[in-house]
Chains A and B, each alone.
Chain A
Amino acid sequence: MQIIVCLKQVPNTNEVKFDTKTGTLVRDGVVSIINPDDKNALEEAIRLKELKGGTVTVISMGPPQAEYALREALAMGADEAILLSDWAFAGADTWATSLTLAHAIKKIGRYDLIFCGRQAIDGDTAQVGPELAEHLDLPQVTYVKKIIYIDNDKAVVERALEDGYEVIEVTLPAVLTAVKELNIPRYPTTSGIMDAFNVKKVSVWGIAQLASAAGLVGLNASPTQVKRTFSPAVKGDGELLTGSVKETVQTLLKELQEKHVL
């Protein structure tokens, strides 16, 4: 089974700090990690490989230091790594990002399964996975929390919903996006880390290697216009209802009705 995992290197913080003047991310001094959901995607891919054989290829678009996110993936057990890094790719929105990834995946050629994380903890849009499926004209299942069955032609998966889950059968190749409930990612072994640097390699593709994507990547090919970036105002304190259970429930129901929640 040929599996491709898209992973993004992100700053290790849930609270992305903005420079309010420039409207950009303050990345200084923040340690970079593999986006958490992408680690679940990678773990599942490695488990499938261990079960079914095949290869896991990891691919990331980002600055040169994203190499280390890919090396960590190699240390965990991925076989091949491709870094999409070029000034031409810079400033991409989700559309341009997913299109660049799609061109790279087409160039790789062979795949049964493409895994993304549900969402990146910095960009936070959860758009890249679904867009990628559209660009590649593949079926997609988002929020995958369990793979129940898989062979070379189809997969049966559980798709997480807010209050339950759906069981979905999908033909392969397909794009799946992973949520953290899918598994607990392994620690890379120490010899895995050594091999990730000394034996395995990270190929770097720039626009020259992705000629098919010329003119379709980076800031100029990004339809999104960012008007302003800001931290939303902090929500006010909640209201605490006191009294007997009966009283508080009645007050609550009344207030919810007044606010047209019920």
Chain B
Amino acid sequence: MDFALSPKHEMMKAMFREFAEKEVAPLAAELDEKSEFSWDLYRKMGQIGMFGLPYPQEYGGAGADYLTFVLACEEIGRACTSSAMLINGQNSINSGPIYRQGTEEQKRKYLVPIITGKALGAFCLTEADAGTDASNQQTTAVPDGSEWVIDGTKMFITNAGLADIYIIMAMTGTGNNPKGISAFIVEKDAPGLSFGKKENKMGVRASQTAEVILQDCRIPKENLLGKEGEGFKIAMQNLDSGRIGVGAISLGIAQAALDESTKYAKERQQFGRPIGANQAIQWMIADMATELEAARYLVYRAAWLRDQKKAHSKEASMAKLFASELAMRASVKAVQIHGGYGYMKEYKVERLMRDAKVCEIFEGTSEVQRMVISRAALT
């Protein structure tokens, strides 16, 4: 057993950290305040090769692995959750379905641009009545000559309106049956594709969320992804990597909460001494630091299992569940340690607490993760 990162992973991590500190951190508060997606950061991350970490170099990927992907989400997540979401999305749900189920042509046409940072992707599963109950899809796709005609509305879609390539789940069969769901690739300029208004969110405000509206949306026959009826399977398979990614982003948030807390606890003086001299503060910091270590190894191990091509659904859920709930707890504690200052936007912890919450919701709520884990435990 060996808990050390390899020199290669250490170098990746150091590079991600330097990029996060120099390029991302200085912009994070302003992007959040303005609720603005940074095309500039997107381009820089693409150029450095942060979007194709687990994919082979022949498709423009890094030829690295999911552990590297985790390090990227974690380090960028320390500086800006929204930017880390971009790394998570591009490396997992926006690209994985095409890499795993796409034809060679689809890979050349869609995968390569996504992972080389030339095209932004989006993954569209959620609908108004299909959230946790994701198989309750109302969007339909009907064949018509050489085309598919798609109708329906997708909700809360990350990158909607900005993205060039949309992976869309729609019913091609009948009834509320996961086997009736198929996956499609829709380009931004497809006729009948439009977008709802940008959501005004509590956190991750530099990540754009909006509705994707498909009205008589026509796409070529060959844009079916995988086989008919495989859509739900494709979605679930690729959610595992997305969950590891959200776990890693959560590590970044929790680490930032701890960093800010220790710094502030040493600086802030009350009763003539630093607040960190009080056991009440020390214990909060001890708990944060301990739980962060536990979360880190859950996330790293889930990534390692995936890299070893071993079963990892349960472990991905555990990592996502524990790390995201820790990010929430740690950021609440961090605000508490900052007192009134922590409630103000001048302090990073205010943003951390708003950002942390979403990690317990998307890519499967905490309740869903507990369902996955208990199902595995009870069988």
Q: List residues of A whose CB falls within 8 A of some B CB.
A: 31, 68, 71-72, 75, 187-194, 196-198
Contacts and interface: CB of A to CB of B under 8 A. Distances in A.
A70 B354 CA distance: 42
A83 B236 CA distance: 48
Contacts of A198: 63
Contacts of A188: 11, 15, 48
A139 to B, nearest CB: 35
Given A187-B18, A190-B64, 18 more contacts: A31-B14, A68-B11, A72-B11, A187-B15, A187-B48, A189-B47, A190-B12, A190-B48, A190-B49, A190-B68, A191-B62, A191-B63, A193-B8, A193-B11, A193-B62, A194-B57, A197-B7, A197-B8
18 contacts: A68-B7, A68-B10, A75-B11, A187-B15, A187-B19, A188-B11, A189-B47, A190-B15, A190-B62, A190-B64, A191-B57, A193-B8, A193-B64, A194-B8, A194-B64, A197-B7, A197-B8, A198-B63
Which of A31, A72, A187, A190: most chain B Cβ within 10 A?
Answer: A190
B61 interface: yes
Interface of B: 7-8, 10-12, 14-15, 18-19, 47-50, 52-53, 57, 61-64, 68
A50 to B, nearest CB: 14
Query: Which 4 A-B residue pairings sit nearest by Cβ, starting from the closest?
Result: A190-B62, A190-B49, A189-B49, A191-B62
B18 A190 contact: no
Contacts of B57: 191, 194
Which of B8, B10, B12, B47: most chain A Cβ within 10 A?
Answer: B8
Which of A68, A187, A188: most chain B Cβ within 10 A?
Answer: A187
Contacts of B62: 189-191, 193-194
Contacts of A190: 12, 15, 48-50, 52-53, 62, 64, 68
A192 B18 CA distance: 16
B340 to A, nearest CB: 33
A71 B48 contact: no
